[in-house]
Amino acid sequence: MAAIGVDLGGTKIRAGRVATDGAITGELEVATDDSSPDAILDQIVALVRALSAGEPIPVGVGLPGTVDQRSDTLVQAANLPLWNVPVRARLAAALGVPVSIDNDANCAALGEHRFGAARGTAYSVMLTLGTGVGGGVVVDGALYRGARGTGAELGHTVVALNGRPCQGSCRGRGHLEAYCSGTALTLAASAHGLGDAHAVVALAAEGNVVALRLLADVADALGAGLVTFANAFNPEIFVIGGGLGEAASSFLLDAVTVILRAESLAPNGDVPVVAARLGNDAGMVGAAALVLP
């Protein structure tokens, strides 16, 4: 049996056909058309139809915002113009197959729990650093979602009181996302004439001092977040993924580990911080895992 996993991101939509062992057997990607909710849903439907080729394959979709599991509705996506969209019902009606939806970082955490770096653990915390910053928490072997399903929004943890404004439609300040997302790094990069987040990682690899400092700033904020999550959840492992998390792991993981050890209450800081084993596929594979047996 196979499932289709869809990872809706702020810049691209990725869809994959995923086998029960987590292997990706087909994959498609398009740039996100964020002109309207309908445009996005149409893109998802087209990708799923192309991958399923007429077979009635169940679909799991990871969405970059708060997903109310009681109404199967995407309530707010900070970085896309999506508010109160009944995504599950709309996709199920268009596709005629079972559809499940969840937050994209919850999906990534599930993917890493079942098939990746957190396999074999019962308590893990995943952070995805991409257009936004997502969080997923596995407690006693199952995703923790909270009362309505909209919990574990770890990217909107305050790490600097009255700090930088958060992104998109989020009205908060000083959130982790404003310091550790690819979007935030691109903003910082352009302020220093370094291009974008990709360029910063490439320049840091060549030893560029400003690029290294910008990544150290990302690590400082991420470390602060991990200390809070270590003390709150006492996980067995932290998994760092997303496009920026994957690209910059060699600059982030050791640095955040130092902060984690120094700032957490004993024994909570004694947790490995590792890169997502599924890389930036974690969200797509985990979305499929929502509907895999």
Nearer to ligand BGC, 148 or 261 (CB): 148
The answer to whether 63 and 8 are in contact (CB under 8 A) is: yes
**Amino acid occupying residue 54:** G
Could you say whether residue 186 binds ligand BGC (CB under 6 A)? no
Could you say whether residue 16 binds ligand BGC (CB under 6 A)? no
Could you say whether residue 174 binds ligand BGC (CB under 6 A)? no
**Amino acid occupying residue 106:** N
The answer to whether 66 and 80 are in contact (CB under 8 A) is: no
Residue 114 CB neighbour total at 10 angstroms? 18
The answer to whether 156 and 274 are in contact (CB under 8 A) is: no
Nearer to ligand BGC, 156 or 164 (CB): 156
Closest approach, Cβ 224 to ligand BGC, in A, equals 18
Could you say whether residue 183 binds ligand BGC (CB under 6 A)? no
Exactly one of 13, 40, 47, 78 binds ligand BGC (CB under 6 A); which one?
Answer: 78
Exactly one of 100, 103, 249, 264 binds ligand BGC (CB under 6 A); which one?
Answer: 103
Exactly one of 99, 105, 117, 271 binds ligand BGC (CB under 6 A); which one?
Answer: 105
Could you say whether residue 177 binds ligand BGC (CB under 6 A)? yes
- 198 contact partners, CB below 8 Å, separation of at least 6: 247
Could you say whether residue 134 binds ligand BGC (CB under 6 A)? yes
Nearer to ligand BGC, 17 or 175 (CB): 175
Could you say whether residue 65 binds ligand BGC (CB under 6 A)? yes
Question: What distance lies between CA 282 and its chain's CA centroid?
Answer: 8
Closest approach, Cβ 91 to ligand BGC, in A, equals 18
Instruction: Give the whole-angstrom CA distance, residue 285 versus residue 16.
Output: 7
Q: Residue with CB nearest ligand BGC?
A: 132
Could you say whether residue 241 binds ligand BGC (CB under 6 A)? no
Could you say whether residue 286 binds ligand BGC (CB under 6 A)? no
Closest approach, Cβ 19 to ligand BGC, in A, equals 25
**Torsion sign (Cα): 216, 132, 27, 106:** positive
Could you say whether residue 132 binds ligand BGC (CB under 6 A)? yes
Total chain residues near ligand BGC (CB under 6 A): 17
The answer to whether 245 and 128 are in contact (CB under 8 A) is: yes
Question: Binders of ligand BGC among 135-164, rule CB under 6 A?
Answer: 153, 155-156
Could you say whether residue 43 binds ligand BGC (CB under 6 A)? no
Binding site for ligand BGC (CB under 6 A): 64-66, 78-79, 103-105, 128, 130, 132-134, 153, 155-156, 177
